[in-house]
Structure 1
Amino acid sequence: MKEFLAFVKIEFFHIFRDKRTMLILLGMPIAQILLFGFAITTEVKDARVLVLGYTGDPVEQRLVERLEQNAYFSVVGFLHTDREAHEAFRKNEADLVVAFPPGFAAEATGAEVPAVQLLVDGTDPNTAHLMKNYAQAVINSALSGQLPSAQTSAASLAAPPVSIHTHMLFNPQMKSAYNFVPGVMGLILMLICTMMTSVSIVREKETGTMEVLLASPIRPIFIILAKAVPYFLLSCVNLATILLLSVYVLEVPIAGSLLLLSFVSMLLILVALSLGLLVSTLVDTQVAAMLISGMTLMMPVMLLSGLIFPVESMPVPLQWLSNIIPAKWYILAVKKIMIEGVGLRFVWQEILILSGMAALLMMVSLKHFRERLQ
């Protein structure tokens, strides 16, 4: 045991002595969580709105004021022709155009239901869909008070009135950080742990010092584990840093058990360390280890884990493929614990899968490493 602890201490010295390793290990997670947390967003704020066909009627004025007062929109100007609207989109001067048809004021005060046309830039379909929904909600709210009572009575005879109240569970403010923070946590822990473990072991092989270590009295398996232990402990420090930034900077609360969240995160760290050990047995250079553990893992984790795109919306073969991505199960568990505040009863399946992945990868990695030694 003393020899094992001595090797762990030596590995710590190697890590702290290398400033680049420290920067990647401790600096990159902070930069990534802040960058992803603030840069990646599905929210619409201060969308530029142009108004077409505005005549100054009180109904139109009320509607424009509602749009201007809303945090999602900012009325930046008025147009007179359809050609000006299309030119504004081509010049990137507008995100949304609200067009009042001729006779809109008469329709709003008469028996007919008024119609408003929305022109939205569809080059970004998701943002366009959000802007359309937001604008429709604001317009319907503004116009509901303008309809005369006679029209309301006639409508109520045709169909009974239905009152719809929507309540957003777990994320009432609809902050995109609630969705991306768990995914970024999985991405950081997977990439950093895998990359650092694989590179540290391959570095010994590349410089020829691995043979010296293996010639020591301690068993080879404990030498490999001793090199992984420091990265596990430093990854736990990363986890604490990420959680602090998530809560106090990105304002994403931890609704569930912090102990359960830490346990699930440590399981993912074990999976990543085992994967890094497996990568180290497959390559002999640090460059190859970086490419495999960094570049090769980044795209599957980002695209197939649910970090950016919902897995349920993917083709069935990709949904099957996503099941072998450890980060997918971690993100599912973290969202349930961190956002929904559930307990062990609701995340046991994800914990079981991550535990199985960690055990399988560790056994395959150690077995393959012994074969390489022989």
Structure 2
Amino acid sequence: MFLWLSRKIKIKTLFNIAEKEFVQLSRDPRSIFIIIFIPIFLLVVFGYGVTMDIKNINLIVCDQSKTSLSDEFIREFISSGFFKLVGYVDDLRKIDGFLVSGRAKVGIVISHDFANEIELGRPVKVQIIVDGSDANTANVVLGYVQQIVQGFSRDEIENYIFKITGRNIPAIDLKPRIWFNQELKSVNFFIPGLMGLIMMVMTVLMTSLSISRERELGSFERLISTPLSPNFIIAGKLIPYAVLAFIDSVLILLAGYILFNLKVKGDLFSLLLVTVIFIFCGLNIGLIISTVARSQQSTMAIAFISTVVPTFILSGFVFPIRNMPWVLQMLSYLVPARYYLDVIRGIILKGNGLFEQVEYVFVLLFFIFFTFVVASLRLRKLMREI
């Protein structure tokens, strides 16, 4: 009977702590605004601003052939949607001025014998000059150029064979198939990554400021005087922020669908379940930080360094992990967002369920257990010191 009453009192006190957190948040409208609207703001800014899709590349042309074939060749570039013609020059040396001044990123030089060589079935050379000051952009541009030139070459070969034989003998008919992201939109890859980045930052900040604020206001002593163990105190602190973080995740998914037409191809329940697991990882990390830092300013600094930098760089959000030095690859295994991004990208883009990547889910569950134990031990030590 005594044990039952004691357990009932503890559960009631736990919910009282959670209720106090909700009340405290309701009295601070700025915190509510930050928690609810900042994730949507970040999603919009990153979703529209961070993209690998490069369009409207300024193109300058030196057409020494001046034939219908050379005009058709240039039209292939313009109609692709990747390039924007800024003008023609009659001397290839004038292309340098466009590239140096930044008025053009790509220059094309078409030789005098362009049309004759094609009609004779001979290889024809076209000079492509690319501004390589931005290496990533230059590589993407070269991919666009190669794709357009191959398509033009295939069509002209077919026309030449028809002239010679009178038959439609096709050249190599390449029919690529793109799975999971048919439009090759980089935003479809970035939005799940943004979801992981935003959720990690928000969850860590929300809970890391919790105990730090209690210590600065002097109410932490009253908190530890309750008949609760550190585990129950942590649970009471986590409940309200877990609810708010889950609401944030739903809002991010809705915004991704409305603004970017990003649809979840897999099981929505599996996506929300693994998101809840990831939320508790971030909340526990925030609690650990709050027991280490002594002020809200230092808490925010530590939270920023421990979440934004690893999540942005070491999770595969932007940069492929396999291209990193082996030291950074080893460090990436300590970043929960790495596993979360792999799972939600599989669910959203490929239609996976949890079973396809169940090992990553277990790793996230291990992170929850480990960080909860560390937070509990840190809080227990803090209570002894006070």
Query: Equivalents in 1 of 2:280, 2:121: separation in Å?
Result: 68
Query: Equivalents in 2 of 1:190, 1:178: separation in Å?
Result: 19
After superposing the two structures, state which structure 1 stretch, 40-49 or 97-106, moved more. Answer: 97-106
Equivalent position amino acid for 2:351 in 1: G
Shift of 1:24: 2.1
Query: Equivalents in 2 of 1:372, 1:6: separation in Å?
Result: 21
Query: Equivalents in 1 of 2:346, 2:155: separation in Å?
Result: 40
Query: Equivalents in 1 of 2:339, 2:130: separation in Å?
Result: 37
Shift of 1:55: 3.8
Is 1:50 the equivalent of 2:32? no
Matches within 5 A, 1:108-187: 108-147=118-157, 148-149=160-161, 162-187=172-197
Matches within 5 A, 1:70-109: 70-109=80-119
After superposing the two structures, state which structure 1 stretch, 130-139 or 143-152, moved more. Answer: 143-152
Partner of 1:38: 48
Shift of 1:80: 2.2
Cα deviation code 1:180-211 (max 9, x no counterpart) = 11111111111110111010111101221100
Of 189, 192, 203, which residue of structure 2 is paired with 1:193? 203
Q: 8 Å contact 2:280–2:368 — kept in the other structure?
A: yes
**Would you identify which runs of 4 or more consecutive aligned residues in structure 1 move more than 6 Å?**
150-153
Equivalent position amino acid for 1:211 in 2: E
Partner of 2:317: 307
Cα deviation code 1:340-374 (max 9, x no counterpart) = 00122211011000000110010111012101211
Is 1:266 the equivalent of 2:237? no
Query: Equivalents in 1 of 2:100, 2:301: separation in Å?
Result: 40
Query: Equivalents in 2 of 1:90, 1:77: separation in Å?
Result: 15
What TM-score comes out, normalization by structure 2 length?
Answer: 0.91
Matches within 5 A, 1:331-350: 331-350=341-360
Shift of 1:5: 1.9
Partner of 2:3: none
Equivalent position amino acid for 2:296 in 1: Q
After superposing the two structures, state which structure 1 stretch, 121-130 or 347-356, moved more. Answer: 121-130
Partner of 1:369: 379
Secondary structure at the counterpart of residue 145 of structure 1: helix
Equivalent position amino acid for 2:334 in 1: I
Secondary structure at the counterpart of residue 267 of structure 1: helix
Query: Equivalents in 2 of 1:216, 1:111: separation in Å?
Result: 89
Cα deviation code 1:82-127 (max 9, x no counterpart) = 3321211121111211111232222122231111111111122222
Partner of 1:211: 221
Secondary structure at the counterpart of residue 145 of structure 2: helix
Partner of 2:7: none
Equivalent position amino acid for 1:149 in 2: I
Query: Equivalents in 2 of 1:189, 1:364: separation in Å?
Result: 21
Equivalent position amino acid for 1:309 in 2: F
Query: Equivalents in 1 of 2:43, 2:239: separation in Å?
Result: 24
Query: Equivalents in 1 of 2:259, 2:349: separation in Å?
Result: 16
Query: Equivalents in 1 of 2:275, 2:322: separation in Å?
Result: 24
Q: 8 Å contact 1:49–1:76 — kept in the other structure?
A: yes
Matches within 5 A, 1:9-28: 9-28=19-38
Q: 8 Å contact 2:343–2:354 — kept in the other structure?
A: no
Query: Equivalents in 2 of 1:296, 1:6: separation in Å?
Result: 31
Shift of 1:39: 0.7
Shift of 1:279: 0.6
Unaligned runs of 5+ in 1: 154-159
Unaligned runs of 5+ in 2: 1-10
Equivalent position amino acid for 1:137 in 2: Q
Query: Equivalents in 2 of 1:279, 1:76: separation in Å?
Result: 54
Is 1:277 the equivalent of 2:266? no
Query: Equivalents in 2 of 1:186, 1:196: separation in Å?
Result: 15
Q: 8 Å contact 1:42–1:176 — kept in the other structure?
A: yes
Partner of 1:157: none
Of 248, 259, 263, which residue of structure 2 is paired with 1:249? 259
Secondary structure at the counterpart of residue 117 of structure 1: strand
Q: 8 Å contact 1:63–1:143 — kept in the other structure?
A: no
Q: 8 Å contact 2:230–2:379 — kept in the other structure?
A: no
Equivalent position amino acid for 2:31 in 1: T
Query: Residues 351 and 33 from structure 1, CA distance in 2 versus in 1: closer, same or farther, beyond 3 angstroms?
Result: same
Query: Equivalents in 2 of 1:137, 1:213: separation in Å?
Result: 65
Q: 8 Å contact 1:329–1:353 — kept in the other structure?
A: yes
What TM-score comes out, normalization by structure 1 length?
Answer: 0.94
Secondary structure at the counterpart of residue 146 of structure 1: helix
Query: Equivalents in 2 of 1:317, 1:340: separation in Å?
Result: 30
Cα deviation code 1:251-287 (max 9, x no counterpart) = 1110000000001111110100110111111111101
